[in-house]
Structure 1
Amino acid sequence: MFATNVTAIERLLRVLLGGGLAAYGVVSLDNIIVAAVGACLALTGLIGFCPACALAGRRLKPKS
């Protein structure tokens, strides 16, 4: 559907950090915004497409 604009290492970091933020937000019960940001970060890592990167014009070079 969308072209991937996030590298494999960045995807892994997004999933790990996003999952951690989401878990922290849910456990603390005060930080629903932190949980939402973490969930969005993890989702962009799972999909491999970042809308903010696309708006900035970031494109990955195709593999030769």
Structure 2
Amino acid sequence: MFYRKNLPGWERAMRTIGGVAMIAYGLFGMPGTMAGYLIAGTGAIAIATGFFGFCPMCAMVGRRLPSP
């Protein structure tokens, strides 16, 4: 099943950068804590949505990219 991208390019870049920052903070800023692992996991999800250009939550509320 293929999903239609629903994130613009600038948001994909920001999600990827933010995800890397979240992983770094979760693993190095709060090492060995449950909160650190949760932050790092959330960062991994942000990177995945930025990489694929599809956000399931945005799709659930009907967000779409404008057609060219």
TM normalised by structure 2 equals 0.87
Structure 2: gaps (5+ residues)? none
The percentage of counterpart residues that share the same residue type is 37
Partner of 2:57: 52
Partner of 2:5: 4
Partner of 1:14: 15
C-alpha RMSD of matched pairs (Å) = 0.8
Does structure 1 residue 35 correspond to structure 2 residue 40?
Answer: yes
Structure 1: gaps (5+ residues)? none
Displacement of 1:61 after TM fit? 1.1
Kindly report structure 1 stretches of 4+ aligned residues shifted beyond 4 Å.
none
Report the count of equivalent residues.
63
User: Within 2, Cα distance between the matches of 1:14 and 1:36?
Assistant: 13
- Which secondary structure does the structure 1 equivalent of 2:66 belong to? coil
User: Within 1, Cα distance between the matches of 2:26 and 2:59?
Assistant: 27
